[in-house]
Structure 1
């Protein structure tokens, strides 16, 4: 126990004489202008008082002051109190408690500083809320140094009105499981101020369907499931019938070419979906779709799916012959109030049992206010008819328009197409099918198109809502923000926004008007309290509390569960707490002294450069969110664009050297 008085002082009460296990001292700061006769150099001494009360019947008090009221570092009215044990403690660790008297302690943001072996911990306490109580400040590692606590009357809100008190401090030695090294230590690369910003419009192609979040305000959050795939058959005529079968899950294996041991597809007899000299409708728009992959892929404004569909000829219910076609359907969202469909047909195998097969677009379907614009049959590039062994490509481009005349509207369309076919089996009459309807061949998850006329974007337009776009940090320019997000993505169980973990971020515009951020960065001046000035970009750079997951997401720790929050906490103190620290010329992201992460936290907050925090997200609202037409609950990914080369994980330690792409 270290009291505010030295040992042996008479308390003039039941406490007798004081006892203490260390020293307590004050530091004052001289006024350089106090040079005249009778002017004392230490003005703050006039504002320091002592009174009977508190622990062992004595404490000191002064008034809290910010820099405008002559406080601050080295301020002429600043008083710094320091409690220090006489020597080191067993096991090099101690829990610390501060006693708050029942009067003369009104300040709500008293900042206790504890110089630990891992850096100076800063603990903010409301003395006004803990009158006549012992308040736990935390447990800390000191190694061979004598434990020490400092308290100044300089606060961020002090106006010279509220009292701040120095009473007793208790040090309780023990093993508190505090590591000897930083639990989090990410060595960051130097800042590259010339690093160009990523092109947020350059989005990768994916076959991964990522739907917006579905939130039931009563039941919490859930992510929104398969339909029956049907074959389409024409009427039976004299026992003959032609059907479009269900799309194949794997490509049809053409019988082996004579003497080659390989299938005709492998030998080149049946070429790929689009040969270089015979392009389809995706050429120049979505070249990545011009392959044999039977899969739907998308970007935010393109959807392309390849399906291999069999055409059966049945006689008296028995399949007599089967032809195979690849249907490629590309939806291109390129207009303000319109979009296009490029439909390509490529035969894979037409046996000699068919004299001819003719295909054509019967009609397009789209719910109001979407209207199909049918192309004239003469618009086909390549004749949509094939004979046995024929391999030419045919494609046609059609359109859709939608009514964008009403502002503030959102529509979801599922554009569909029906394909008719006429088959001429050898030795049988011509048979017409009832048509192949795209939607009855199964749902890819990318079938829905969302169009809107919301005022947050420059004009009306459409996107693929089940495609999650990727926001990419400029990590070379803003490594502090990138490293903090990387830490939470890769070392915490929720992995927010990490595509490889399939855990998207879900957009919440405004973050409940900043309430999510206020929940995580819930202490006034938290970043300024815990930042390292040497880790800032410049002397004018103000520290920020960087919260991740972002406040404008349902993933934010500040988003309540009853409103659909996925990772709710009651305070930012429940998150992994880190700060940027300069150490021997290299900036590190480290856990705050006095905090030991469990690595089961669901959120993070970090005291980092304001320039880096704000710069890392500058392109989000200004460009990314608008270009991707992000709406409430939309999914998106975060690419931190920073990599960690890490030491083998031992216990709760993450020690990495970070590099940028």
Structure 2
């Protein structure tokens, strides 16, 4: 252990001190000096003063050499600074931290053990030593005697070293240092030559505002954008006949030829809307189509949210193929409707509603009229019941005035739990018929809008479109440092946990009794953030907020979250995606208030800069900020609200950081944007 000694500790290490003590008794002109460290002039006697003027290693026995006490120790010429103990092309040591280790060799012609005093100076614009840096005793945290650090004694020819205390040096700064040797009785007469070193700059500097205790909760619904799903797929409704004159794979479901009229009826679903269909929709939209889901009118194809679906942008077609003598004549009667299907689920109940809008596009007058029969099915009859249909508008259209009206139907479905979870498919069948043509039926369903009903997320049943990936937005106004830490790790690391842009969602790990491997999320936390880590090992400059929360203490924040399969603490053998051995393998940061109203998230300059190849982040920050950033806000405002189950994916978004550039080597940004 390095020390900053007063008195004569050299007696424990060297026979020279014993000789000096004996000489004191027999040689009256041999005297000692005692170090007095309090006056500033003694701590910094000047750059040209000899080593004996700063006797931090202990008092020198004056006259000892003249009395035959032997040779003085000598500093070596192997001055080094590190880690990583490498020089640049100018010969300046490049250190990867501010807690720098300085070292040099030391020899004594008499073979005595010696120590080294290390003196550090700032440098001027020309690189010359300028002002002495008053170093801190790393053991006591108090100013070191004479502003220098003293190494332990080493054997002659050995390497002595000291490690400077965090806070003594500034980042991205060039310093000069030198050494003087002491063997327990004698100092060398001059300081060693100078060596220069440069501390690394910060890799992270994100400027942030003050946390606001009473900031309102984030309305998560405001951040849920519709997610596109495939258009509905069509299924045949037996019995069917091949379409006369057409190949079977053409997509039509056909009935038998009407013996009186020679017309074969066919129907199908087309996953698009024709130009005339779009025009019909525009006309009807301008007159105010009623919507079960208000955002449906914005989209021309199929989308879902967690509790809402708009299955639209497709067409139901019914045609009559005119047949004579068993061959099609080429004449075809056409009728079609633009279809909009909307579904609204409940997160707090097993009953949900769907609405079907039929907007006529054309009805050939030769059909005379076309009537549609609509059947709504919940394809799990034992667990899902269908209520009565209600229609606004008749389901019959005449060829005289085919665009006279729309038809809007509603129906409720109810899930009756027989187990904790069921997957339900909504399927719709339309059968069309005319006075001159037989019925033809087509069924469709949207696989992307499959429904999951369960009693796992809550004892109260609820249903979701579980294929929708919701977006979690942290409360930046309330806890800026925690949000900045999560953004940094997501944006900068190669695994990008929770990033929609990188298509790497976060995967939810619920409580131990609700996840497949039976893993307690707190066990993940303990890998990255062991109990007491922040107080013992976290950056001491992490700022707490006792004015917000009395007794607030430093805490350890991790990203990806402990309650996720993305956590660095989640073992890969049970589904973990980014397993690390300890939190030491993560990017290390801390949050500090530099002045009232201004906070910064910094990388921990005590160690090496991040490589940005890590798979997790660990940050020292206020316990109130850390716990408030997630806590109930996530469980009640997000995971519970959207009924996330084990391994459900979700995105993590940071709208306040959209202007920040994480591609640069140094991540520097002011949030919110000035």
TM-score range for the pair, normalised by the shorter chain length = 0.5 to 0.7
Give the match for residue 591 of structure 1: 603
Secondary structure of the structure 1 residue equivalent to 2:452: strand
Match of 1:605 among 596, 618, 631: 618
Give the match for residue 582 of structure 2: 571
Give the match for residue 235 of structure 1: 255
Distance in 2, Cα, partners of 1:202 & 1:244: 40
Give the match for residue 302 of structure 2: 296
- The C-alpha deviation readout for 1:130-182, integer Å capped at 9, x for no partner, is xxxxxxxxxxx99888797865489xxxxxxxxxx988864699999987420
Distance in 1, Cα, partners of 2:153 & 2:315: 81
Give the match for residue 182 of structure 1: 202
Q: 1:646 to 1:449 in 2, by over 3 A?
A: closer
Runs (4+) of structure 1 exceeding 6 A deviation are 1-8, 86-92, 141-149, 165-169, 171-179, 225-230
Q: 1:288 to 1:149 in 2, by over 3 A?
A: same
**Alignment of 1:451 onto 2:474:** no
How many equivalent pairs are there?
502
Deviation at 1:359, TM superposition (A): 1.1
Q: Does the aligned pair in 2 maintain the 1:312–1:319 contact within 8 Å? A: no
Give the match for residue 186 of structure 2: none
Deviation at 1:581, TM superposition (A): 2.3
Distance in 1, Cα, partners of 2:505 & 2:283: 33
Distance in 1, Cα, partners of 2:393 & 2:232: 35
- The C-alpha deviation readout for 1:260-316, integer Å capped at 9, x for no partner, is xxxx955xxx34274354524xx2x3121135x442222221122102233333344
Give the match for residue 359 of structure 1: 372
Q: What's the Cα RMSD here?
A: 4.4
Deviation at 1:524, TM superposition (A): 4.2
Distance in 2, Cα, partners of 1:487 & 1:89: 40
Q: 1:647 to 1:555 in 2, by over 3 A?
A: closer
Distance in 1, Cα, partners of 2:338 & 2:234: 21
- The C-alpha deviation readout for 1:565-621, integer Å capped at 9, x for no partner, is 122222212211100123354211011111311222221111111111111113112
Secondary structure of the structure 2 residue equivalent to 1:466: coil
Secondary structure of the structure 2 residue equivalent to 1:341: strand
- The C-alpha deviation readout for 1:478-502, integer Å capped at 9, x for no partner, is 1011111111122222222233333
TM-score scaled by length of structure 1 = 0.66
Give the match for residue 569 of structure 2: 558
586-595 vs 620-629, which moves further: 620-629
Give the match for residue 555 of structure 2: 544
Distance in 2, Cα, partners of 1:383 & 1:183: 68
Match of 1:529 among 537, 549, 555: 537
Deviation at 1:90, TM superposition (A): 7.4
Q: Does the aligned pair in 1 maintain the 2:281–2:338 contact within 8 Å? A: no
Give the match for residue 648 of structure 2: 634
Distance in 1, Cα, partners of 2:584 & 2:98: 18
Unpaired runs of at least 5, structure 1: 18-24, 28-85, 97-115, 123-140, 155-164, 211-224, 255-263
Q: Does the aligned pair in 1 maintain the 2:263–2:437 contact within 8 Å? A: no
Deviation at 1:563, TM superposition (A): 1.0
Deviation at 1:507, TM superposition (A): 0.6
Match of 1:436 among 442, 451, 456: 442
Q: 1:481 to 1:3 in 2, by over 3 A?
A: closer
Distance in 2, Cα, partners of 1:522 & 1:366: 49
- The C-alpha deviation readout for 1:525-562, integer Å capped at 9, x for no partner, is 23553244562222622111111110001111111222
Give the match for residue 279 of structure 1: 289
Secondary structure of the structure 2 residue equivalent to 1:587: strand
Match of 1:253 among 275, 285, 305: 275
Distance in 2, Cα, partners of 1:472 & 1:177: 43
Counting only pairs closer than 5 Å after superposition, residues 142-291 of structure 1 correspond to structure 2 as 151-152=138-139, 170=161, 180-202=200-222, 204-208=224-228, 231-237=251-257, 238=259, 240-249=263-272, 251-254=273-276, 270-272=280-282, 274-277=284-287, 279-280=289-290, 283=291, 285-290=292-297
Q: 1:575 to 1:243 in 2, by over 3 A?
A: farther
TM-score scaled by length of structure 2 = 0.65
Secondary structure of the structure 1 residue equivalent to 2:657: strand
Q: Does the aligned pair in 2 maintain the 1:362–1:418 contact within 8 Å? A: yes
**Alignment of 1:421 onto 2:432:** yes
Q: 1:374 to 1:436 in 2, by over 3 A?
A: farther
**Alignment of 1:341 onto 2:344:** no
Distance in 1, Cα, partners of 2:508 & 2:640: 12
Deviation at 1:186, TM superposition (A): 0.6
Q: 1:503 to 1:597 in 2, by over 3 A?
A: same
Unpaired runs of at least 5, structure 2: 20-34, 38-74, 86-94, 102-120, 124-128, 142-150, 155-159, 164-175, 178-194, 237-250, 513-518
Match of 1:625 among 629, 636, 639: 639
Deviation at 1:444, TM superposition (A): 4.5
**Alignment of 1:582 onto 2:593:** yes
Secondary structure of the structure 2 residue equivalent to 1:509: coil
